[in-house]
Amino acid sequence: MEQQTKRDTSADNLVSFEAIDLRQYAFVLLKRKWFILFFTLLVSVIAMTWTMGQERIYSASCAIVIEAQAPQVLGEIRDAVNIGSGGYWYNREYYETQYRIIRSREVAERVVEKLGLEGDIRFLGLEKLPEEKREAALKRADAASVLLGRITVEPVHDSMVVQILAEDRDPERAAMIANAVADTYMQLNVERRAEGSRDAADWLGDQRRDLKAKHEKSELALYQFRKANDLVYTSLEDKQTMTTQKFATISDSLTRTRLKRAELSPKVKKIQEAQRSGKPEQLMALDDVASSPFIIDLKKKYLDCQNEVLDLSERYGDEHPKMKVAKEKLETARNVLNREVMLLLNVRLTQFAELMETERALADMLGEVKREAFENNKKEIEYKRLAREEANNRNLSDLVVKRMTELDLSSLLKTNNVRRLEQASPPDRPIRPRPLKNLLVAAVLGLLLGMGIALGLDALDQSVRGPADLTAMELDCLGLLSKIPTGKNTDRDRFAADSPQSVLSEQMRAIRTNMLFMRPDAPPRCIVITSAFPQEGKTTTLINLGITLAQAGGRILLVDSDMRRPRLHKTFNLGDDKGLSSVIAGTDQLDDAVRKTDIENLFVLPCGPVPPNPAELLHTRRFQELIREMSGKFDRVLFDSPPAGIVTDAIILSNELDGTIFVIKAFKTEKPAVERALASLREAGAKMMGAILNNVSGGRRAGYYGDYYGGYYGGYYRYGSYGRSESSGRKHKSSRRGTSGTSAEGQAAVSASDASGSVQTASEKQPTDKNGSPPPQAS
């Protein structure tokens, strides 16, 4: 899609470019060449007169070198004012700044004071003033501004060299001004460095006193903080280390205590459950009881006593002394066993309680250590702030002291990054005015302005000048007709018959060819020829076109339907007692009114008596019947009519007839008038065949007629001259076979059929445009 769009855009550009006919502009300029030449000479004379009246101005040049950096005599020690750029990326800004300084008012005022220019009347241009006005003018004069207007700074490309140019009417003074500007700028550069060093030293002295007081204050604040927080002998870092170690120890002990408690917690739970149940067997089943050697020994003694009681019970009764002693021993063993079991379990419970108490104590200690650590961190923030402030103040104070020492050393030097390269010398010749240059510029400007005025005048011309104008009005161009040469023996109306080898005859035959090839299936037989205004050449065109059609074979009738200013009867020396008006009125018949001319196949129907109402006659039914009658008796009927832009006769005729041809006089008829006439004809339903451009010049105006018409009819002039040179002294006679090899139609043999009026050509040569296509035909 993008490629297609690009191709379309390229095609549009190509069409737009081709639409510009450069040759047309060239012919416009050639047409008005004397005006352009006069205007160029006028501007040149004015410019030279002005140039010769100008004062001679001289220019002196002084060259200086502006280095990027000043010489580093003290190594890394820098000046207070950086008189060089110090870096590549700042070079452009630095040098532009220096150029502005050279042309600054401060430099100009110093130069004026140095050279005493404030009272120099020749420098200020006041020498021509009268004495009574000179004093007041001197007071108002601004010598610095005058000097700035005469100084130019020109850097040399790709170098650090700068040219300082000074202009003046006196060559000696111009050289002095250039040298003074360079000297003043270099001195100002050094002074700026020294002034900067002094200002920097004063400022650094003030800063040193302020920084010293700040440093002492910060040192005292740091000492007081250390004293208040017992950091005189022990640093804050040591305290933080001890707190960290204490925290680790307590945390480790707390962890071990919690592990022991976790181990005893299940056993204590079982002990408590066994105690709540009150069953001795559950107490005896506890792991601590069952695994205790002492309890196991007591349990063994208890079993022994129990076995002894069982043995005695088999032999003695309960009241037997031995039996009583055995039961007492059994009871004692039981009590001892129960007491020891309870004692053992209480020990376990006591151990668990102690672990719980120890865990709580360790947790409290750990919290205390944490608070102490947080407090130390808070103190550390304040301590670091005070220490940082003290260090910054100390460093700034040291830096200021160091920089002051450097300034003391650099102030002893007189280095400069600007040096003179060339001394200005008085020039030998002035730079202004330049007569030759001014003359050339004036000539070129005069030529361009003259050409512009010529093209502007041509653009304001609203007359029809070529086929392009006809195309813009949607009107086909049937052909161009040249000017008919004037002479004592020249009959303009019969020129095609009297001069068959002329350019006009060739052009008429080309128009005839275009007409005959239009609508070959239904060619127009009755044609009206009209124009927008009188004196357009329509009657002359009609007669010569009729003669050309008659020479090609076929009966041609010329009808003088211009019943306001009839002229055909005068051209052919015919009577005007009978004609179109009398035939329409019914007083005469068509055959009686039609007159034969001395040209074979050409007949004329004069106007007849001039009626008072021509337009009403053309509206009658009899006129329509007459058209059909004439169309049946003749191959072509050409009607001459009044101008369509003045009266309605041509509009009525165009509606009744088969075709309408519009005659336009080139470079005279205005396009708006033609457009109005065409609009009236088209609204009436006229069948427009096209237009014939009359009064065409084959010389300097040929460029207006486009590639086809300009070149083709230009060739007619050369071809016509060639034909006349070969046939001089011989009288040409037109015949139904056409001309023999001398016309633009070649070996054409044109014949008209009696019935249909169609035309047959053997080898009719048609003109072609620049693309090889035939000229446009009427629709």
> What pLDDT does 359 receive?
82
Q: What pLDDT is recorded for position 20?
A: 56
pLDDT at 580: 92
Q: How does residue 14 score in pLDDT terms, banded at 50, 70 and 90?
A: very low
Q: From the CB of residue 222, how many other CB atoms can be counted at a distance below 10 Å?
A: 19
- Angle value at C-alpha 656, between 655 and 660, nearest 5 degrees: 65
* Strand, coil or helix: 338: helix
Pull the structure tokens for residue 568: 């055909």
Checking if the pLDDT of 740 tops 50, the result is no
pLDDT digits (tens, 9 = 90+) for 672-717: 889 999 999 999 899 999 999 988 875 445 445 544 444 444 444 4
DSSP character string of 337-363 = HHHHHHHHHHHHHHHHHHHHHHHHHHH
Please tell me the predicted confidence (pLDDT) of residue 184.
93
Q: Is residue 656 pLDDT above 60, yes or no?
A: yes
Task: Tell me: pLDDT of 277 over 80.
Answer: no
- If you average pLDDT over each of 326-340, 406-420, 613-627, which comes out highest? 613-627
Work out the pLDDT band at 627, boundaries 50, 70, 90.
very high
Q: Which of 34-38, 103-107, 606-610, 735-739 has the lowest mean pLDDT?
A: 735-739
Per the model's pLDDT, the better-predicted residue between 518 and 682 turns out to be 682
Do 89 and 98 meet the contact criterion of CB atoms below 8 Å apart?
no
Mean pLDDT of the chain: 78
Q: How far apart are CA 77 and CA 71, in angstroms?
A: 11
Which among 492, 526, 531, 527 has a CA at the least distance from the CA of 642?
531
Handedness of CA 370, 374, 379, 380 (dihedral sign): positive
pLDDT for the residue 736 = 33
The pLDDT assigned to 561 comes to 92
755 pLDDT more than 60:
no
> pLDDT at position 760, please?
33
Residues 182-196 have a mean pLDDT of 83
Name 420's Cβ contacts closer than 8 Å, sequence gap at least 6. Answer: 62, 63, 64, 65, 182, 183, 186
pLDDT digits (tens, 9 = 90+) for 253-271: 888 888 887 877 777 777 7
Report whether 662 contacts 475 (CB < 8 A).
yes
Residue 285, both tokens: 């089943």
pLDDT at 38: 92
Region 373-392 average pLDDT? 80
Mean pLDDT of all residues in 520-532: 88
Distance CA 336, CA 694 (A): 159
Distance between CA atoms of 151 and 42, rounded to whole angstroms? 35
Q: Which tokens in the block code for residue 46? A: 């004015």
Name which of 712, 690, 707, 703 is nearest 770 in CA terms: 707
Model pLDDT, residue 87 = 55
The fraction of the chain above a pLDDT of 70, given in percent, is: 78
Higher pLDDT, 271 or 49: 49
> pLDDT by residue (tens digit) across 507-517?
989 998 888 88
For position 595, what pLDDT does the model report?
Answer: 93
pLDDT number for residue 739: 33
Higher confidence at residue 725 or residue 447? Answer: 447
Task: Answer yes or no: is pLDDT of 759 > 70.
Answer: no
pLDDT category of residue 1 using cuts at 50, 70 and 90: very low
Where is pLDDT greater, at 182 or 365?
182
pLDDT band at 70 (very low <50, low <70, confident <90, very high): low
User: What's the pLDDT at 722?
Assistant: 39
The model's confidence at residue 368, banded by pLDDT at 50, 70 and 90, is confident
